A and B are shown apart, each in its own frame.
Chain A
Amino acid sequence: MQHENVKILIVDDEKGLREGSKRLLESEGYCVDTAENGTKGIELGTSHDYDLAVIDLKMPDIEGTDVLREIKNKRPNTICFIATAYASYDTAVESTRLGAFSYIPKPFTPEELFNHLDQGYRQRLLLLEAEKLKEEREATLLEVAHEKSRLKTIIESLSSGVLLINSEGEVVYYNHSTLQKLDIDNLEIGEYILDKLPGQIVDIINQFLKSDNIIQKSITTQVEIRPNTELVIDATCSPVPHPDGSFAGVAVVLKNITGFKQVEHVKNQFVSMVAHELKTPIAAVLGFIKLILDEKIHVPYEQQRDFLGRSHTRLQGLLDLVNDLLDISRMELKTKQREIQELDIKEVLISTLQFLEFELKKKDISVDTTIGDNLPKLNADQNEIIRVFTNILSNAIKYNKDSGSIKINCSLKGNFLVTNITDTGVGLKPEEKERLFQEFFRAKNKHTRGISGTGLGLTIVKRIVESYHGKIEVESEFEKGTTFTLYIPINK
C-alpha cells in the first residue's frame, strides 16, 4: 500500500516510542507529526486534517480518551487509534464508544502497527468517499429545492394567470395573477371553482370532462370580465393528462387583453368615422346630380351651375380626405421611408409660404416672420416638416379674417427649436380647443361655415411632431385668433 502523503499524528509522552514510530513510519512514506503531550495533541489534531492519529492512553496532562474526543469532535474523518500498555476490555469499549477505530496494545511490533494503520487508512478512504457522496447528494437536493422555488417564483411572477383545476372541478393550484384576471378576491386550494368561473370557460372545461377520449388540443376563448371593455381576458384551457393518459384536470392560462380590445374599439370607431366622412360628400354630390336629373323638379340653369360648383368642391374635399387618410395610414404602418436630412427652418418656412402664396393673396393676409440668427439645423424629413407647416399655415389663412395677419416667430429654447404661428382669425371656443387634435374634429360655428377641410390636418401635424419627440401646443381666444407653438428637438 502506498503511504505517500498519508498524514499521521503520533501523540505520546514517551520520547523513545514517539521518535521511533516517527522514523519507522517516515521510512514507509508517511508524513508524520508528533505531540509530546495531550494538550499539544489536541492542538495539532484539531487544527490539521490528519488521515490517522495514534494516541497514547496515559499521559501526564490529559487522558488519551479526552484527546480522542476532542479530535473526533472536530475532525470526525480522522481515524484514531488508542495505544495502551494497559489494554483491557473496558478501555477498548470506551475508546470505541468515543470514536476510536481500534486500539493498539503496547508494545507493538512494526508489522502490527502497519497492519492497524493500513486498516485504518482504508476506513479513512471509505469515510472520505462517503462524505463526498453525501455532499453531492446534498447539493442535488439543494438544487431540486431551488428548482422548485424558482419554478414557483416564475409562475407567481407571470403576468398571466395560471390556474389548475382537477377533474372534480377543484382548484389544485393558482398564481396571484389569476385573482386579478378573474376579478375575484380569493381562492382556496381544494375549493370547487366551476361556479366562480365565467360560463365560457366552464363550457370548455365541461367539454374536456364529458369527452370519452381525452381531447389533446387547447381551447381559447375571450371573456369580458368587466363590461364596456374595462377588463377583457383571453383564457386558454389545456387538458392535463395522468401518466396513463387519462384525464387529470385542466390548466387555464389567463391573459389580460383589455389593451388590445380597447385599441380594436378605437380602430373600429375610426373606421366608422372614416366611412361616415367618405359617405357624406358622396351623398351631397349624388343629391345634386339627382336634383339636376329629376324631371319632376325644375332647377333653373343658374342654380344647376351652383350645384355643379358645390359638387366640385365636395369632390375635391373627398380627394383631400383620401390623401390625408393615406398619409395617416402610411405613418401608422411606418412604411413611409423617411429621408432624414439637415433642414434650415428658414428655408422650410420660405418655401411653405411660397406654396401658399395664392391663398395668402386671395385673402390679403400679411405675414411677419422673425427667425433668430444662427439657428441650428433640423434633422428631419423635409416633406414631413413642410407638411407640418403647410397644415398649420393653411389653417391660419383659411380661418383668418380678410386682410388679417400671421406672425411667425422662430427661436431656440434649450434643445428645442420653438416656432410660434399666430393668426388673427376666428379663434376657438375652449371646448373646441380641447378637441382640436381629434380625428375629423372641425370647429363648427357661424365663422367656420363654408371653410372646407378634412378634419385630419392637425391630427397629421400632431403625429408628425410627436414622431420626432416634439410637441405642439395651442392657445386661442374666440373671435380673436389662435397661436400654435411647435417644439421640435434639435440633435446636437
Chain B
Amino acid sequence: MLVTEQFKKLLLVDDDIDLLEQNKIVLEAKGFEVQTAESGKEGFELFKKIKPDAAIVDLMMEEPDAGFILCHRIKGTDHGKSIPVFILTSATYETGFKFSSSTDEEKEWIKSDGILNKPVSVDELVSKLENFRTSA
C-alpha cells in the first residue's frame, strides 16, 4: 500500500497562508487529501473534527513554540497517539535555533515524530511516513 493511500488525509497547520496554500497544492498533486488551519488553536479543533491520518504543523505561529504545543496536544489524544505528527520549520541550524539539542525531557513532552524542513519536500515527507510505518 502506498503511503499516500495509508496516510491520505493530511492536516496541515501554518500561519503563513501563502506557504499553506503552496504546500496544499504540492501535496494534493501527489495524491494526498489536505485540510488546512492557520493557528495552533484552529489546528487542534480541525484535528478533532477530521481525525487525519497524519499532521504537519508549523513551529512558529502565534507563539514561537506554538507547533510544539499543538503537537503535544494532538499526542495527548487517543487518535493522536496512533498517527505521525511532524514539526515544520525553517528555523533549523541556519537560524541558530538548535532543535536537535532539545533535551530528552522536552522531546518526551513534545512527542513529535520528526522535523520537516521548509519548504516541504514531498519526497522527504513520503520517506518519513514510510519510516513511521516500518517502525510502528
Q: Do residues B96 and A279 form an inter-chain contact, with CB atoms below 8 A?
A: no
B16 on interface, CB distance cutoff 8 Å = yes
- Nearest-Cβ distance from residue B126 to partner chain A, whole angstroms: 15
For A416, list chain B residues within 8 Å (CB): none
Q: Do residues A272 and B18 form an inter-chain contact, with CB atoms below 8 A?
A: no
The number of residue pairs between A and B whose CB atoms lie closer than 8 Å in the complex comes to 56
Residues 93-131 of chain B, each 1 if its beta carbon lies under 8 Å from chain A, else 0? 011110000000000000000000011000000000000
B25 on interface, CB distance cutoff 8 Å = yes
Residues 10-42 of chain B, each 1 if its beta carbon lies under 8 Å from chain A, else 0? 000001111100110110010000000011000
Q: Do residues A287 and B61 form an inter-chain contact, with CB atoms below 8 A?
A: no
Closest A-chain residue to B17, C-beta based?
Answer: A449
A275 and B97 CA atoms in complex are apart in Å by: 10
Contacts A268-B96, A444-B39, A444-B62; A283 near B29 (Cβ below 8 A):
no
A294 and B25 CA atoms in complex are apart in Å by: 11
- Nearest-Cβ distance from residue B29 to partner chain A, whole angstroms: 5
Residues 290-313 of chain A, each 1 if its beta carbon lies under 8 Å from chain B, else 0? 110010110100000000001000
A294 and B23 CA atoms in complex are apart in Å by: 13
Residues 60-88 of chain B, each 1 if its beta carbon lies under 8 Å from chain A, else 0? 11100000000000000000000000000
Which size bracket describes the interface of B in this complex?
A: 20 to 34
A335 and B60 CA atoms in complex are apart in Å by: 33
Closest A-chain residue to B61, C-beta based?
Answer: A444
- Nearest-Cβ distance from residue B69 to partner chain A, whole angstroms: 14
Contacts A268-B96, A283-B119, A287-B119; A276 near B91 (Cβ below 8 A):
yes
Q: Do residues B18 and A275 form an inter-chain contact, with CB atoms below 8 A?
A: no
Q: Do residues B26 and A291 form an inter-chain contact, with CB atoms below 8 A?
A: yes
Q: Do residues B29 and A297 form an inter-chain contact, with CB atoms below 8 A?
A: yes
Q: Do residues B118 and A283 form an inter-chain contact, with CB atoms below 8 A?
A: yes
User: Which residues of B come within 8 Å of A, CB atoms?
Assistant: 15-19, 22-23, 25-26, 29, 38-39, 60-62, 90-91, 94-97, 118-119
User: Which residues of A come within 8 Å of B, CB atoms?
Assistant: 268, 271-272, 275-276, 279-280, 283-284, 286-288, 290-291, 294, 296-297, 299, 310, 314, 444, 449
Given contacts A272-B97, A275-B91, A275-B96, 14 further A-B contacts (CB under 8 A): A272-B91, A272-B95, A280-B19, A284-B16, A284-B18, A287-B19, A287-B22, A290-B119, A291-B25, A294-B29, A296-B29, A297-B25, A297-B26, A449-B38
21 example contacts (A-B, Cβ-Cβ < 8 A) are as follows A271-B96, A272-B91, A272-B97, A276-B90, A279-B90, A279-B94, A280-B90, A284-B18, A284-B22, A287-B18, A287-B22, A288-B18, A288-B22, A290-B22, A291-B22, A291-B25, A294-B29, A296-B29, A310-B18, A314-B18, A444-B61
